[in-house]
Structure 1
Amino acid sequence: MTRTQFLAKEGVKGIGIGILILVFAFIFELEIVVFFALFFLIVWACIFRNPERYPAERSENVVLAPCDGKIIDIQYQGGYITIVVRIDWVNVGLIRAPYATQNIEIKTSHGLKTTFLSSSIIEAMNTKIHFSSDKFDLMVIPEFFKSSFYALTDAYAADRIGFCKLGTLQVTFKDSFLDARINPGDEIKGGETILGYVK
């Protein structure tokens, strides 16, 4: 789990490679390579940034956004509410627990990583990573970068529990649990924006 580091652990390897290339190019005075290495390091640091987040409201009844992104759909079906969030390039990729939870199980259904196709094809073909717990369920459909949930047995609200950059996240609650206060089209920030309140 990542906590206060400037960079999420998923980006450490890329930063290390970029620094090695930069040092090599600097030693051998390869100015164009130095430029591109610096550019790569800046972009990579932005992609894998790991900011601290503080809830807009502190209360035991607050349910927080699990990630950065845009809400593209809210579905009510069979006594459950599912909030679908699009995570884009510019969004922070860390996934956070929307509420304190226990009895966590993580499963992966393997598939492809298709990006520039219709959302229905992506949902049918892509890898899916499932996070199940006693309070909520999450499903991530990554489209480019490797995504994962961290090996945890429990988590507090706003804890970092996984990573997804460029993809879709679905968070599901029992309808009897969540009084939702968000709408499709809303931009949210993980660990900060309030999705709603416990009923």
Structure 2
Amino acid sequence: MKTRLTAALATTGIATSLLVALPAAGTASAAPLICEPGSRSVKWVTTNRARVLTHKVKGYEKGYSGGSRTISRSLGHDKTVTSGYSIGGGAGAGFGVKKVLVSLDAHVEGSYTHSKSKTTTRSVTVTDTLTKKGRYFFYRGTVKASGTWQGFYCDKGTKWIEKTWGKAQTFSAQVDGAVRCGERVNGKSLGRLVQQKYC
């Protein structure tokens, strides 16, 4: 009898220790937090950077080699670039213009405007100082950034849910000046685009 009682107590003790060791229900299955609950994120599917001449280019020939000369040229409007976004795929709550355009800025080389706007449609006067003999072209333009985006919403911190999608476009500060055919300029600059098209 004593042996049976001892064995029974031992068995009961083992079962009790097993019960104590088991985790509480739901603790083991709780998913890890991957994002801040209620936050939103913009993902870019495609992006593009393009140089755009917004005003008509005009040429000028500096026919003498000595000294410098300050020249002004009036350039008529040619193309308009807009900044803003389109939205689709359902509700777009929380995905305002600035949030989307700031995100685009971070994904495309350069610095761009963060509000709905457009480049000027008026004629402009461009003045530059020409220092060497040669053929010059006066210009004004901007760099355009554009892309297609997806907007995601963080539920309770465990997953991202696609909320909406759309397209966005914006532009950098406008640049003007004159570039001489044959001079070395940055390959990504507007001046280089002018040389490629007109020289």
TM, length-normalised to structure 2 = 0.23
Structure with the higher strand share, 1 or 2: 2
Larger gyration radius, structure 1 or structure 2: 2
